[in-house]
Amino acid sequence: MAILHPSKPSEPSDAGVPQGAPPAPADPTPVDASPSGPPAAAAPALRFAPVPARMEPPEGPTVSFDPDRIARLLEEESHRLDESTPGSAATFARAKRTLAGGVPSSYQARKPWPIYLTRGDGQYVWDVDGRRYLDVHNAFGSMVQGHAHPLITEAVSRRMALGTHFAAPTEDAIVVAEELERRFGLPQWRFLNSGSEATMDAIRLARAITGRDTVLKIFGSYHGHHDYVMVSIGLSEEHMGDREDYPSVAYGAGIPPSVTAMTVAVPFNDGDALERRIVRLEAEGRAPACLIMEAALMNCGVILPEPGYLDRVREITRRHGIVWIVDEVKTGLTIAPGGACEYFAIQPDLICLAKALGGGLPSAAIGATHEMMEPVLTGRVCMVGTYNGNPLVMAAARANLLEVMTPAAYDHLEHINRRLLDETQGVIDAYRIAAYPVGIRSKGVVAFSDSKLVDYETFKRAQDEQLMALAWLWNMNRGIFATPGREEEWTLSIRMTDDDVDHYVSVFAELIDALTR
């Protein structure tokens, strides 16, 4: 579960903000979420000494949460949020008449209504009721730059006056490709419009190169909403089956069984299981074209690769002639200048970028070796799209890469995330709860588990949906806009401050205190 609890200071500090990022606005001040208005006197913030994050569950006995207490708090917090968001309720009543479900995407839906936003600035967003939140959702990890960054805004505005779309290349696309080559070490690039498009085209490219059809993916991982990869996601524990032979199950209706059967899932962090599955597929005449995976799982909170695992994956895929696609839609540009490839020192055949690339505009990219991109250059594979390389997107990406996501920005993210990890660890140790923080650079999560989460199976076994729902409501009612669900991690932005960390940790401590009274 992703629970981040950043700050709600009356006058946000600019300490530690990277050069070039203007101070966050102090007004309007946050609106208290209580239906009866602000309390007469604020309770003192709970403070605990930071402890270096171990990224491992605690040893020895731990304190358990009372399910009845969770249920009671859940009811109270749900009522509190509903009472304080009448504007969202009214907006939903209007929206659902013409906008399916009242939202543009099913992942934005929520009962009884979504929280509708009006604007964002820096690390903050505002809803239609005028409530200000510290944003650690950051558009499912897209807005590591913070909202309305002035350098990106200026670049897009300048480009707007010159024309918004041509379906023809511009110089900015060349500059962005050159910078991505420098960061990721792959020489050839193509641009697309979403992570789903990037993973879809990468798989098609791998099939053309190998002449094979079977796709390998990690069990439980998400790689977009096209048919190739909407397989073996979100399964409950009783439907998982044998980890040596996971079932290929479509994620929703409308996907032909013949397509679903061509995608085979394997467990994360298990090189031996990967190779055994490949050997069996080869014996069946179904040798895989590719393995698509995240280097660190980012849709199960955050699950890091065990030492040596990624090197083993590279060796196995290369030996079996399988194209290794690393999905950097979430990790690309957010955990290092060169994403997971740089952070973990890996060299895949293809990588997929999206989310953070465009600084808030819809963007994606595929990076490849010369050999991998050869079918595109010869015309054997069609990689096309009217809006690929859109001038506005390329202008935003250029400013983002060259002026915003600088070495100082990554240093700042490291500082903020390290504080969050260490200080939530301090709270966990003080209360002796079965939980641990884990994260890298702008990404992190507090995993509520008494055993280490190493793959989707261990993640699902530890999942407490009631607790996850409570944590989200607790955050929202205290000025923190977090991503719903245990499946998501927090994403920090470069605009976050040390004051934000103080608030985050204090809200986390208040939640744990309420659960353990």
460 is known as an active-site residue: no
With beta carbons less than 8 A apart as the criterion, state whether 266 and 216 touch: yes
Catalytic residue among 330, 355, 443, 460: 355
Which one, of 505, 499, 471, lies nearest residue 485 by Cα?
A: 471
Local structure of residue 297 (DSSP, 8 states): B
Tokens of 34: 């209580």
Catalytic residue among 116, 124, 133, 222: 222
355 is known as an active-site residue: yes
Residues shown for the chain: 517
> How many CB atoms within 10 Å of residue 216?
23
Q: What are phi and psi of 446, to 5 degrees?
A: -105, 115
Catalytic residue among 327, 422, 499, 500: 327
H/E element holding 207?
Answer: helix 195-210
Please give the distance of CA 78 from its chain centroid, rounded to a whole number: 25
Residue type, 166: F
Cα 331 from Cα 495, distance rounded (Å)? 18
135 is known as an active-site residue: no
Which one, of 463, 481, 488, 478, lies nearest residue 508 by Cα?
A: 478
Tokens of 180: 């991505």
Residue showing tokens 């199960």: 300
With beta carbons less than 8 A apart as the criterion, state whether 501 and 469 touch: no
Cα 125 from Cα 120, distance rounded (Å)? 4
Cα 334 from Cα 382, distance rounded (Å)? 30
H/E element holding 92?
Answer: helix 86-95
Cα 425 from Cα 409, distance rounded (Å)? 24
Measured on CA atoms in the order 450, 452, 458, 464, is the torsion positive or negative? Answer: positive
Please give the distance of CA 398 from its chain centroid, rounded to a whole number: 22
Residue showing tokens 């879809």: 200
Local structure of residue 327 (DSSP, 8 states): E
Cα 313 from Cα 292, distance rounded (Å)? 11
Strand ranges of the sheet holding 124-127, from the earlier edge strand across to the other edge: 117-121, 124-127, 132-135, 480-481
Tokens of 484: 């719903």
Please give the full DSSP string across 110-165, using - where no structure is assigned: -SS----EEEEEBTEEEETT--EEEESSHHHHT-TT-BT-HHHHHHHHHHHTT-S-
Asked if residue 375 has a cis previous peptide bond (ω within 30° of 0), the answer is: no
Give catalytic residues, as residue numbers. 222, 327, 355
